[in-house]
Amino acid sequence: MSIINVAIGPQDWDYYYGTWDAIGRKASRKWLESQSIHSDDMQKLLNDGIEFKYRLGREGNGDVWRTILTKFRTDEQNNYIPVELTCKIASLTSFVGTVRDAVSQLLKEVEILKNLSHPHVIHFEHFVRLYDEKSGFPHPIRVLCFMELCDGNLKQLIKWAGKLPEPLSLDWFLQIANALQYLHKSGIAHLDIKPQNILVKINPVNQNEIMVKLTDFGLSETFRPGSPVITDTEAGTHDYKAPETLISRAFDAFKTNIYSLGVSLSESLVSSDSKSPPIMLRLIETI
Q: What value does the mean pLDDT of the chain take? A: 76
User: What is the structure's pLDDT at 44?
Assistant: 79
User: What is the structure's pLDDT at 235?
Assistant: 72
User: What is the structure's pLDDT at 32?
Assistant: 34
SS3 96: coil
Greatest alpha-carbon pair distance for the chain in Å reads 60
The CATH 3.30.200.20 domain(s) of the chain lie at 10-148
How far, in Å, CA of 263 to CA of 21, rounded?
A: 36
The CATH 1.10.510.10 domain(s) of the chain lie at 152-285
Amino acid at 234: E
Q: Is the pLDDT of residue 77 over 90?
A: no
Q: Is the pLDDT of residue 277 over 60?
A: no
3-state secondary structure 155-191: HHHHHHHCCCCHHHHHHHHHHHHHHHHHHHHCCEECC
- As a CATH number, domain 10-148 is 3.30.200.20
Q: What is the pLDDT of residues 91-138, one digit of tens each?
A: 766 665 666 666 677 778 888 999 999 999 999 988 887 765 555 545
The residues annotated as belonging to the active site are 192
- As a CATH number, domain 152-285 is 1.10.510.10
User: What is the structure's pLDDT at 266?
Assistant: 93
The phi, psi pair for 97, rounded to 5°, reads 130, -165
Whole-number CA gyration radius for the chain: 20
